Chains A and B, each alone.
Chain A
């Protein structure tokens, strides 16, 4: 296996995590990762060095944008109850965060996840989204404020329900 393929392969777990958080649906997420990998492998000869990691996140982020555009014409099937067994110890908190993510606009969700979950730098995220660093920082600030508000607003409500 080429070094290129090895570095792509090493990224699959992280890409799946990012895609899952981005789409909040296991099947769509893996579809997205598969399309990302196919596109990356197809472009192997076009890849002239550089950071494979950023490049893969860029492909995935762009594909997700396209996917959402085409989803607009199809009904989207979402689980009615988010009973995912893969939420670990802080399960309740995990579900809250998934729900809070769902309320973010696309660009903000992407910035939030790339920075907070995937640990990318502001510079890398700016390149991935094709925007200035200032835009990344304002998206991040708005996303954090929004998620914080949702989480704080939701907790008492949940307690009442339970």
Chain B
């Protein structure tokens, strides 16, 4: 039993209003309130506050659920944009002489594709808009950047030369990836167009290249020797392919 002579605390007043007070203490609080008008007024104001909240927002819960929140739809298409895009493998690579590698691997499982591309595109969208701090280590310290990322990630991280496509290394940063660290490199053209290369440990050894698109951003994804690569940038697939091709060729040579 609690002692009614023990003064009621502020915490108890809140707990009383929120039905969190032990039943045996409720009577004490009620007795306290009838003797303390200031506290009674506060309790009353909290109850009014709750009523105002319900009056303002309960109608939202009564609205019909918008179609885009339909559970069947969301369950069928976890990310609509991705599955539409998954089919779009890169024929350009076959035509362009990269035919050998394309046929090598098994198709990426959707979950792997999803984790990678979602994380990489999120990072891309987050950092390409950065003006002052897009990277942790600037491209002028290329050797240090590669050394640092290689050491932290555990695979050979090389910043490819993309000058042939008009892109210059801005720099890079270390990010948390789906299964451990991820490296993130950013490139920029003279006109300010930005591309990023995201790599992280992949569950699949080797996969074919896949294309995904979200709003104005596009991404090409593949895995090679247990490392997943996502090249994100313009949603123009030809331009993206041109860049990704160069990245692929160079990581292939250095043993990515």
Q: Does A94 contact B (CB under 8 A)?
A: yes
Give the contacts of B10-28 with A (CB-CB under 8 A): 10-11, 14-15, 18, 20
* CB-based contact B54/A117 at 8 Å: yes
Tell me the complex Cα distance, A8–B20, Å.
26
A64 CB to nearest B CB, Å: 15
* CB-based contact B69/A117 at 8 Å: no
Q: Which residues of B contact A60 (CB under 8 A)?
A: none
Chain A 22-35 near chain B by CB (<8 Å), digits 1 or 0: 00000001100110
* CB-based contact A97/B56 at 8 Å: yes
Interface size on B, residues (CB 8 A): 38
Interface size on A, residues (CB 8 A): 45
Q: Which residues of B contact A16 (CB under 8 A)?
A: 60-61, 63, 65, 69
Give the contacts of A30-77 with B (CB-CB under 8 A): 30, 33-34, 37-38, 41-42, 70, 73
Q: Does B37 contact A (CB under 8 A)?
A: no
Give the contacts of B41-98 with A (CB-CB under 8 A): 42, 45-46, 49-63, 65-66, 68-69, 71-72, 74-75, 78-79
Q: Does A102 contact B (CB under 8 A)?
A: no
* CB-based contact B78/A13 at 8 Å: no
* CB-based contact B53/A87 at 8 Å: no
- Closest residue of chain A to B65, judged by CB? A12
Give the contacts of B150-165 with A (CB-CB under 8 A): none
B177 CB to nearest A CB, Å: 17
* CB-based contact A137/B53 at 8 Å: no
* CB-based contact B75/A5 at 8 Å: yes
Tell me the complex Cα distance, A144–B17, Å.
12
- When the two chains form the complex, which single residue of B15, B54, B59, B69 contacts A34, counting CB atoms closer than 8 Å? B69
Tell me the complex Cα distance, A37–B69, Å.
8
Q: Which residues of A contact B79 (CB under 8 A)?
A: 38
Give the contacts of A115-136 with B (CB-CB under 8 A): 115-117, 121-122
Q: Which residues of A contact B60 (CB under 8 A)?
A: 13, 16-17, 20-21, 29, 86
**Provided the pairs A20-B60, A34-B69 are in contact, do residues A116 and B50 lie with their beta carbons within 8 angstroms?**
yes
**Provided the pairs A20-B60, A88-B59 are in contact, do residues A148 and B18 lie with their beta carbons within 8 angstroms?**
no
* 25 A-B residue pairings within 8 Å (CB atoms): A12-B65, A13-B61, A16-B61, A16-B65, A29-B60, A30-B66, A41-B71, A41-B78, A42-B114, A73-B130, A86-B63, A87-B59, A88-B56, A90-B52, A90-B56, A93-B55, A97-B52, A116-B46, A116-B50, A117-B57, A122-B20, A137-B11, A141-B14, A144-B14, A151-B49
List residues of chain A with CB under 8 Å of any chain B CB.
1, 5, 8-9, 12-14, 16-17, 20-21, 29-30, 33-34, 37-38, 41-42, 70, 73, 86-90, 93-98, 113, 115-117, 121-122, 137, 140-141, 144, 147-148, 151
4 smallest beta-carbon distances between A and B, as pairs: A94-B56, A13-B61, A17-B61, A97-B52
